[in-house]
Chain A
Amino acid sequence: MKKAYLLLADGTLFEGKAVGYEGQSIGEVVFNTGMAGYQEVLTDPSYYGQVVTMTYPLIGNYGINFDDYESRKSWVSGFIMREIAEYPSNWRCRLTLDEYLKEQKVVGLAGIDTRALTRKLRNAGVMNGVIYTEGFEPDEQTIAEMKAYVVKDAVKAVTCEESRVYPAEGEQKYRIALYDYGVKYNIERELQKRGCEVVTIPALTPPEDVIGKFDGVMLSNGPGDPAENVEIVENLKKLLKSNIPIFGICLGHQLLSLAIGAKTTKLKYGHRGVNHPVKDLDVDRTYITSQNHGYAVVGESVDPSIARVRYVNLNDGTVEGVEHVNRPVFTVQYHPEVCPGPMDTSYLFDKFMDNIAKAKGGAQ
């Protein structure tokens, strides 16, 4: 059996067994604490440029099915787990995880002390690393490259080239423009379910193509440093001037916050999991949310005359969502579309529908 390794920027080396694709890959090493949902994680474009470590030790138990992909392919730069299931069992299982990783050319590493790695990342913060199979040892130059690695032009790498139309389920009520910054299928599904025709559009689609042509705008999740998306932020500023209802998720939330003049910052080790408590300050309720982000909006930078921080993380107090004070615009840092994760906040899509209904009512 072949060995595989993870070399971190600080020189730490983890040795385990090779799974999935054989090769070498550089990325930002992060950990995800969800106990199920590895298929959704693998196919979530927000993990672009990252080597993902699962903290739950038994991964691949239910294999891979053909229904639970969140995008057309896997985006991770590498995948690390303690134990990979050789004999998965689930009625929908079509592939083993190993087969899928091979198919997607994802370099995998199993059998390492994932808890030790997680503790390292918790204490030192996310760190770059190179994951490689025996025979693909990195040379000096690769190691230097790894150390200097930053996730760059991430949105450009994951967004669609052409727009796609998804019909409404049942009677069509609204048309939604969905900016694809790295969208997960379930955002589309949630909107379709609510009677929306969804047009997923490339990230750099000018606002002029949207305003007046759609009932609402959905800003998707996505990877990378929000601040590098200068052009998108400018577009959003224009979009904000119209009165079109907007709902932003994750990167969409960060980009819109930038558009209203707020700042973003990188978190030490991010939030990646399905157990994050978020408090809705308006109604004094806390919801368990699915999260996947390395950056966050700085609370003090949100101008209260434009928007207010309505949702906060109960664990560390970080901003989890803002609401525009006089426009039908709101955004959340977490993932109400889940997949993976708890469905407690899917009511936000209903709220978006309400905003659209009100806006349309006003227009009529």
Chain B
Amino acid sequence: MPLRKDIHKVMVLGSGPIVIGQAAEFDYAGTQACRALREEGLEVVLVNSNPATIMTDKAMADKVYIEPLTVEAVQEIIKKERPDSLLPNLGGQTGLNLAMELCESGFLDKMGVKLLGANPETIAKAEDRQLFKDTMEKIGEPCIASKVVHSVEDAVEFTREIGLPVIIRPAYTLGGTGGGIAYTWDQLREIAATGIMYSRVDEILVEKCIAGWKEIEYEVMRDAKGNAITICNMENVDPVGVHTGDSVVVAPSQTLCDKEYQMLRTSALNIITELGIEGGCNVQYALNPESFEYAVIEVNPRVSRSSALASKATGYPIAKVTAKIAVGYGLDEIENAVTKKTKACFEPTIDYCVVKFPRWPFDKFVYADNTLGTQMKATGEVMAIDNSFEGALMKAVRGCEIKLDSMIAPRIQQQSDAEIRKGVARTDDQRLFHICEALRRGIMTIEEIHEITTMDTFFLHKFQNIIDMEKELASAETIDKDLYIRAKKMGFLDKTIVELSGGKDISGVKRLPVYKMVDTCAAEFEAETPYYYSTYDEETEVKPASGKKKVLVLGSGPIRIGQGIEFDYCSVHAVWALQKLGCETVIINNNPETVSTDFDTADRLYFEPLTPEDVTGVVNAEKPDFAIVQFGGQTAINLAAHIEKLGIPILGTPAWSIDAAEDREKFDVILEKCGIPRPAGHTVMTEEEAVKAADELGYPVLVRPSYVLGGQGMEIAHKEEDVREFMKVITRNKVENPVLVDKYMMGREIEVDAICDGDDILIPGIMEHFERAGVHSGDSISIYPSINIEQKHKDTIIRYTEALAKNLAVLGLVNIQFVLYNDQVYVIEVNPRSSRTVPYISKVTGVPMVDLATRCMFGEKLRDMGCGTGLHPESDHYAVKVPVFSFQKLRDLDTQLGPEMKSTGEVLGVSTSFREALLKGLIGAGFQMKKKGAVLISVRDSDKQEAIRIGERFEALGFDIYATSGTANVLNRHMVATNAIRNVDEPSPNIIDLIESDKIDYVVATSVKGRHPELGSVHIRRTAVEHAIPCLTSIDTASALLRCLEGDIKIENCEMVDINTI
């Protein structure tokens, strides 16, 4: 069937902010879908609250709404735009749930909007636990013994029937929020209660725990004709029990024979057929490792994180094909975009091994619970390709940017045998490295480890191979060619080979890898738009150069706290700008969730880790004329010096400038030269030096490592023991770069992104933070245009920006953070690179920043580009960026905001009225606007005076006020009627009981010192988070919320803004 005739205008729903369990993969999916629809001449209306995405780019859709993904907001947009259809299955669980609500309420019917690619019955069959079970039973697909319950008592009763342990899975949540495995009755009660709370429909599934079975996934597709195919299957190295998002995953399955493979494949196709899904779908299985017995764990009737992985692993564009199917095409009518010779109706076959490795946030969140279970905790992932499992695994590990080049983890090497054994038994982010260390020391056999972890011995033997190679390298007399190549094939870096061999010379045997294609068909057909991976093979398949100028763009690696999707936005835009300039583009990146690793973004894509040696290989193969590093976040910046060493000129800001901005002494020289003040500070290497520096500056001080992004390891120290604690954390891994200790100034934070062409600068906008300095810029509510900055300060900011840009020889983008303190502007930080705010400022000001920056690198001048110079005229629309956190998923993590970034994503509220923009931002970030109820206030002494005003405002709205004794005293003394309640350390009923009683609607809790989960204040905040009660950890954020509560504006009355019209 060709394109449906009754479709002209399609609304596409995005997935909203990046949170754990729903990351950049939906930007990739949505972007591909928008392009696929527009290719068909359809008008596309896009709604997504996440401004850092490529899909919300003006060019991606005809109408772009960066509005909250709530029923109310989307209804208003539908009324305004009158689309004839809605595509719901590419926006993750968020998009799907939203579409279902719109459909179930009858709104879509009323508005004459057709739901494409899915229908509510289908979705309910997959998502509603009982309906799903019934459906599976009907077609004879086995499920795990389970029961849907709505109360803790019923959960306990059913568990008595089937026995512990059981898994609790809440219905309609993403990434398994609120679920877990219960081994004891107490755990069962606790997890069941949490699960019921998080479920949209107060529903959980209690399920027999089959931990230890193989976990296998199938990505399948189906069209309206009934053609159904498998794209890829995947095997989790971690057996059932660890969320697939937290598992090391290998594609294709390694330990399944054809009978097992086909048995599950047939099952997956039966399921997608029975559910009647049109498009992509993911089915997860548990397979008994001792028989043909299997059970369907879960079906995702939509494009998912696994689809992104399967797409990148095979080259098959699942999102694009899903969009084409939704508008009427059959799989047999859609072209295979990689080969351009065959059709989309086939099953990709791969001739390499793919390993996905999760990127967890525990390097930053050192006190968060790092055990892994059914609740996903990773913020991102990397994918690596090689033709051995060992090679792919090693690439994945070093590409993950966790300071490891191989399976050797220095911190674990220092542990005792007993600790190693304990580590093997503990399912956490370090388990794999504990297993390797146990094998390395020979203290456990493969069989023992298998007994404990239930990991398949196939994989354990592979780890053993890597360990054996380490030992062979260590004991070799010389590194001969044979040994070298064998080590390379297992993924060892040259520097690791040298290190392990005790510094032996490898110059005589050293060689670079060749590159093979990802072509969907194992070389059976010639490919037109393939991408590449490195191997130590004989034949390379890199195509000859086109003769155009070739530019290498370095990507930004896995999504982690502090380095999110915005850098992918910048990399992709750089590629597009370069293509417009007539250049051939080469991109290196290893993040399967992103648009930059889509097969048709750059002319050449190398799916490789971003390490010096891996980059050297690509540079040698492609011989680019230039490289660009300023768009790929810290990952790319860290490679700048290396690229220069390889003799590849860096376009834009030179490497020395990046160094000068990070190096305290060099930077001070520049500031002095420009006459720009900054908070006093020192550079230190050790704990003692840090304490000395802090004493000299006077507390509070800011302690942070240099050369990191997102304020990693940054903390405000109020006393000596804080400094000591933070230094211990920072120096836990080896210290390569110095640590900075600065005087901390609690003023208004201001942020600027600018473009410099060498002569002029252009500042698209000045952003002001709602929270005072001390909260990381990424975690602050940020406002553009600024509302509280006097013109004289703006002038100063422009002057400073210009001086800094010129003196740092910026060519391209620069991000500068200022603090306004006692009527004076100080510079806090300069980053001569793209920043987190570039995408949203580009969108609301209409200044295509990356495009302009790229053209500047080629010698064009800003004054000729039509966007002006100096400060760009302020927009008549306010854009309020509100951070979004994933606190619910990270147990024991303190939610107190501070200088270290904690947010995983962000949303934007756009309106001509500031208050409306703020409201949209807060709603988009998930805040409920409750006009009455109860608020709990517990603040540190320094906030108590300001808390009075906060209390008064809540009181005026009609809220009941509760506070811990200290805060209550102050409030009551100031005529704010407050109920005093006992603190955490006092006997029950205390503050925790109150939070758990569900009486509280908002919590305002700040404390002097946070982080450690045993602290009372942390306990309060965690309890609030676990009960899904908004917890405001800064007086300023509370004040922002109050501004919205106090007005009588509702989202239904706000104008929905198509950013293409700003």
Contact = CB atoms under 8 A, between A and B. Distances in A.
Interface residues of A, number: 53
Interface string A328-346: 0000000000111111100
A298 interface: no
A115 interface: yes
The 7 closest A-B pairs by CB, nearest first: A37-B258, A340-B258, A89-B458, A116-B539, A275-B347, A55-B522, A87-B461
Interface string B348-363: 1111110000000000
Contacts of A65: 257
Interface of A: 31, 33-37, 39-40, 55-58, 61-62, 65, 68, 82-83, 85-92, 113-116, 118-119, 122, 273-277, 279, 284-288, 314-315, 338-344
Nearest to A314: B343
21 contacts: A33-B522, A35-B349, A35-B350, A37-B261, A55-B524, A56-B350, A57-B352, A58-B389, A113-B538, A115-B516, A122-B523, A273-B349, A275-B347, A277-B345, A285-B227, A286-B345, A288-B229, A315-B343, A338-B262, A342-B230, A344-B269
A132 to B, nearest CB: 19
A51 B388 CA distance: 23
A190 B388 CA distance: 36
B346 A89 contact: no
Nearest to A114: B351
Contacts of B757: none
B332 A286 contact: yes
B828 interface: no
Contacts of B330: 284, 286
Nearest to A116: B539
Contact of B227 (A33, A122, A286, A340): A286
Nearest to A120: B539
A113 to B, nearest CB: 4
Contacts, number: 156
A285 B524 CA distance: 23
A13 to B, nearest CB: 11
Q: Considering residues A65, A90, A118, A279, which has the most beta carbons from chain B within 10 angstroms of its beta carbon? A: A90
Contacts of B342: 314-315
Given A91-B291, A277-B343, A341-B258, 19 more contacts: A33-B349, A35-B349, A36-B257, A56-B350, A57-B388, A62-B255, A86-B461, A87-B461, A88-B458, A89-B456, A115-B537, A122-B523, A277-B346, A285-B227, A286-B331, A288-B346, A315-B342, A338-B262, A344-B266
A33 B526 CA distance: 14
A277 B345 CA distance: 6
B262 A122 contact: no
B226 interface: yes
Interface residues of B, number: 54
B407 to A, nearest CB: 18
Interface string B400-430: 0000000000000000000000000000000
Contacts of A40: 258
A97 B457 CA distance: 17
A57 B387 CA distance: 6
Contacts of B226: 285
Interface of B: 225-227, 229-230, 252-259, 261-262, 265-266, 269, 289-291, 330-332, 341-343, 345-353, 387-389, 456-458, 461, 516, 521-526, 537-539, 541
Contacts of B265: 342
Contacts of A91: 289-291
Nearest to A83: B388
Contacts of A35: 252, 261, 349-350
B296 to A, nearest CB: 18
B257 A57 contact: no
A89 B539 contact: no
A343 B257 contact: no
A120 B189 CA distance: 62
A118 B255 contact: no
B671 to A, nearest CB: 55
B332 A56 contact: no
B266 A342 contact: yes
B257 A58 contact: no
Contacts of A33: 349, 351, 521-522, 524
Contacts of B350: 35, 56
Contacts of A273: 349, 522, 524
A118 B331 contact: no
A275 B389 contact: no
Nearest to A111: B489
Contact of B258 (A36, A58, A276): A36
Contacts of A341: 258, 262
Nearest to B251: A35
